[in-house]
Amino acid sequence: MDELVDGAGQSGRAVLGRTLRFLREKEGKSLGQLADESGYDESYLSRLESGERLSKVTVMEDLDTYYGAGDLLVSHWRVARIDAFKDKYKEFMRLEATARIMHKYTPNVPGLLQTEAFAREVLSEPQTTAEDAEAVEEQVAARLGRQLLLRKNQAPSVRFVIDELAFRRPSADAETWEGQLLHIEAVAQWPNVVVQVLPFSAGIHHLMAKGSLTLLWQKDGSAVAYTEGDSSGLLMDDPEDVLRHRLSYDRLRDLALSPSDSLAFIRDVLEEHRS
């Protein structure tokens, strides 16, 4: 089994691909046989093995079951998905994955709450080649995989403050938008999640020019602040910087609707959409 984990110097995606091929060859299966028996397209499986594609986590779950590999492939996938994000986000993602408390402000629907269809629409740009389309699918798969942290064992306590703007700019597809609203409504009722809507009536605030803000606390009490705009992100661990951004967040939280009023607001938006 050393071959499966000896990936020094390789990307997580390459290690996952090697592991997929190792398991298939160990079973004496061709790609064609695997495709027939698993239900996945042969060319798709080939790209997974070569490290050209990143699947959804459900594909790895299926293949773990197929090979009787426990959660080996899912474990490798969790590492490989980081490759779908730019290097500057990797440290933030590592900290997000281990955080015990998260406070997030976003002017748009946060990635952790996006449905697959909505995420695909958000991440899609003008595409001129098949590679462009594949790149979007990789980003969608990585974003959906990132959401697993909300439902893992010892899931973090998460509070979202979402600007009303996020609910006033619907998806181009009515069905996608309804699904997105229903998903936010459902997640807002999970015991470890709080959702608050920051209404337009709160007025101008000083985070408007900074994009989103995330505060993360680890088990040992250490904390970081992360701000992200359209094309840049800044991770801060200086206590003064973290404190300043925490105060900014607390002010927005106090201006936002209460959790119960926010849930009512989301349901009103949903009814407006349906009417």
Dihedral over alpha carbons 81, 83, 85, 86 (to 10 degrees): 160
Q: Show the tokens assigned to 224.
A: 């970081």
- Could you tell me the pLDDT band of residue 78, with boundaries at 50, 70 and 90? confident
- Could you tell me the pLDDT band of residue 56, with boundaries at 50, 70 and 90? confident
**What's residue 1's pLDDT?**
42
Answer whether 81's CB lies under 8 Å from 146's CB: yes
**What's residue 3's pLDDT?**
43
Once rounded to an integer, what is the mean pLDDT over residues 203-217? 89
Once rounded to an integer, what is the mean pLDDT over residues 36-44? 93
Instruction: Please tell me the pTM assigned to this model.
Output: 0.74
Domains recognised in the chain with CATH numbers: 2-82 (1.10.260.40), 87-114+141-274 (3.30.870.10)
Higher pLDDT, 193 or 92: 193
pLDDT tens digits for 218-255? 999 999 999 987 666 788 989 999 999 999 999 999 99
Answer whether 188's CB lies under 8 Å from 256's CB: no
Task: Name the percent of the chain lying above pLDDT 90.
Answer: 69
Q: Which residues of 223-256 are buried (b: 16+ CB within 10 A; e: fewer)?
A: bbbbbbeeeebebbeeeeebeebbebbeebeeeb
| Three-class DSSP labels, 223-239 | EEEEEECCCCEEEECCH
**What's residue 231's pLDDT?**
60
Higher pLDDT, 211 or 224: 224
Once rounded to an integer, what is the mean pLDDT over residues 140-167? 94
